[in-house]
Structure 1
Amino acid sequence: MIYFKNGEFLEEQQMNLSVNDRGYAFGDGVYEVIKVYDGVLYTAQEHLERLIESAEKIRMPLPYTIEQLTNIAQKLLTENQLSVGHIYLQVTRGVAPRAHQFPESDIPPVIIGYTVVNPRPVEHLKMGTAMKSVEDMRWLRCDIKSLNLLGNVLAKQEAIEHSCQEALFVRDGLVREGSASNVFGIKDGILHTHPANNFILNGITRRVVLQIAKDLAIPVVEKEFTLAEALAMDEFFFTSTNAEITPVITIDGKQIGEGVPGPLTRKLQSAFDGQIPMLVSAGNAKERESNGTAS
């Protein structure tokens, strides 16, 4: 596999990271995950804009433009011949003697990147899955996609230990987001989701879903709701770069709606699928076949 580190593309055996990297010592950094479908970057612009925004929020200069970062991601994709999966990009505040305050301004950030083969979660997309509610004890800047993920890790593990795929964070009685996702409920044909503030990460797939809902004239309410209200939804789902639009059929063992992925969730999934390069390409190929023009 080919990796990227600070301007160089390296073989795995050439990669080395310092124990004095502030990402290792403090989680002092930010990251992004960009999905790849059929060898094509999906919503890369939006992910990279958020990477830069997250870096700015923690007062960390990022010495790359979106165009340069896109080129890095594209080369990683090409060099590793990635078809379906994702590209991981991480930026830390650099290598310096361990001290809580920022290092001197001449310490450059450390940026790394690599690819991961990650097929679509077809079974979960089709059949739905379960969530487990967990008290949200994280810090108050969840809008920053930082490396500080211990709260998310503990929540995810609790969900897994209860045979659920994802955790559902609840703070002050209000549903926030998943441990690695945003959440949506549907009630009486209206799509409900938490507003994009400091309590959640404004997910890229979340934004895609909201645009799809607008295009389909599905009413949307961006307002906090309680766990009891979540359990009373007709449909529920969570979204992320790798989870896409995953239906939720139980929360804390309690059935949501009819206990199967609902019609509006399916409608949103179908519209999302229509934007995925690999599925669009497959559809075009089938159309060419039916017209007798396949090459």
Structure 2
Amino acid sequence: MIAGVDQDSVAFLNGAWLPLGEVRISALDRGFIFGDGVYDVVPAYGGQPFRMAHHLARLQRSLAAVRIETGRSTPAWQALVLELLARNPDIGDCTVYLQVTRGVARRDHGFPAGVAPTVFGMVSPLRRPTQDQRTRGLAVISIVDERWLHCEIKSTSLLGNVLARQQAVDAGVDEVVQFRDGFLTEGASCNIWVVKNGVLHAPLRNHLILEGVRYAFLVELAKQAGIPFEARPIGRDEVGLADELLLSSASKEVLPIITLDGRPVGTGRPGPVYGALRAGYDAAIDALVTVA
């Protein structure tokens, strides 16, 4: 048994549907040997996928970047997501996890010829942010970003992110804020936002960050709320002097950061820009569930 995992939930592996606890993948799968694969995670509320088209577009970009060809069209991926949700109707709010590796082959660093990719999908309960997290905020620490230079690819090779996240765990805080050459990149598993004088700022969308699907979504929400937005390089000093800091991800949605390295951010309480974005986010989820 694995704590917190429903091993009876229905999963998908290379065309077969079976209980998650019965899924078996070869030890020679390149995802296991090399971390040679990509993934994406589609949140779903009330059984309805949220911004699925954006997640699947990112999955296709990641596949193209690492040169894995599945032969699956975007409609085929959409059908797989919907089928996973349909086969797990009692799971409630959840995430649909999709992973594709280069497949099973003799261990050799070069791409193997004539090997079918491994395609896996599963559904897991979504632990949405708690009321305390939403209203009181999170604590973070700053660290040096030591990951590779293709963070825009949603790769299964996540050791750098794992080590960064463990620094937060060891420090007893919620997340890390990473800097490369003195400039803000992102958290271990989220995008970071800076608010100053009512303007929402984020790092440029390039190879140094994973462009979270919530990146474009929060820009949309900011526009709807009349909040100015600017994407640009953001120095460490600017982050330290921010009026508000926020983080966003599929599972964390959008949350306020109230302390950085033990010091208060702004007033030390969630601010008005966060409040407006949080309200817009909640309204979008409510509309999705209501329409369904």
Give the alignment's TM-score, normalised by structure 2.
0.93
Distance 1:60 1:282 in 2: 34
Alignment of 1:7-26 (within 5 A): 7-26=15-34
Matching of residue 230 in structure 1 with residue 239 in structure 2: yes
Deviations 1:237-268 (A, max 9, x none): 00000010010001111110010110111011
Match of 2:186, SS state, is strand
1:121 to 115, 124, 129: 129
CA distance in 2, matches of 1:56, 1:173: 31
- Look up the SS of the partner of 1:51 in the other structure: helix
Q: For structure 2, which runs of at least 5 residues remain unmatched after alignment?
A: 1-8
Q: Deviations over 1:156-215 (max 9, x none)?
A: 010111111111111101110011000101000111100100000111011100111122
Q: What is the CA–CA distance in structure 1 between the aligned matches of 2:290 and 2:123, rounded to whole Å? A: 26
**CA positional deviation for 1:125:** 1.9
In 2: Cα distance, 1:204 partner to 1:281 partner: 17
Q: Work out the CA distance in 2 between the residues paired with 1:141 and 1:12.
A: 31
Tell me whether 1:89 sits opposite 2:98 in the alignment.
yes
Q: Tell me which of 66, 71, 78 is aligned to 1:63.
A: 71
Partner in structure 2 of residue 131 of structure 1 = 140
Aligned partner of residue 154 in structure 2, secondary structure = coil
- The reply on whether 1:148 has 2:163 as its aligned counterpart is no
Q: Is the 8 A contact 1:36 1:84 kept in 2?
A: yes
Using the TM superposition, give the Cα deviation of residue 29 of structure 1 relative to its aligned residue in structure 2, in angstroms.
Answer: 0.5
Residue in structure 2 matched with residue 259 of structure 1 by the alignment? 268
TM (normalized to structure 1)?
0.92
Amino acid at match of 1:280: A
Task: Find the aligned partners of 1:127 and 1:282 in 2 and give their Cα distance.
Answer: 26
Q: Are 1:101 and 2:95 counterparts?
A: no
Instruction: Indicate which of 36, 45, 53 corresponds to 1:28.
Output: 36
Q: Equivalent of 1:280, from 274, 287, 291?
A: 287
Partner residue in 1 for 2:167: 158
The letter for the 2-side match of 1:34 is V
Q: Is 1:76 aligned to 2:76, yes or no? A: no
In structure 2, the CA distance between the partners of 1:186 and 1:29, relative to structure 1 (3 Å rule), is same
Cα-to-partner distance string for 1:197-234 (whole Å, 9 max, x where unaligned): 00001110111001111222211110111222111000
Contact kept in structure 1, 2:46 and 2:289, CA below 8 Å: no
Which SS does the other structure have where 1:33 is aligned? strand
8 Å contact 1:35–1:86 — kept in the other structure? yes
The number of equivalent residue pairs is: 282
Question: How far apart are 1:69 and its partner, in Å?
Answer: 1.0
Q: Which amino acid aligns with 1:47?
A: H
- Greater shift, 58-67 or 233-242, is seen at 58-67
Quote the offset at 1:11 in angstroms. Answer: 2.1
Alignment of 1:159-174 (within 5 A): 159-174=168-183
User: Percent identity among equivalent residues?
Assistant: 36
Q: Where in structure 1 are there 5+ consecutive unaligned residues?
A: 285-295
- The whole-number CA distance in structure 2 between the counterparts of 1:52 and 1:218 is 31
Shift of 1:65: 1.2
State whether structure 2 residue 253 is matched by structure 1 residue 249: no
Which amino acid in structure 2 is aligned with residue 120 of structure 1?
A: R
Residues 52 and 62, structure 1, Cα contact 8 Å, conserved in 2: no
Offset of residue 282 of structure 1:
7.4
More displaced, 9-18 or 242-251?
9-18
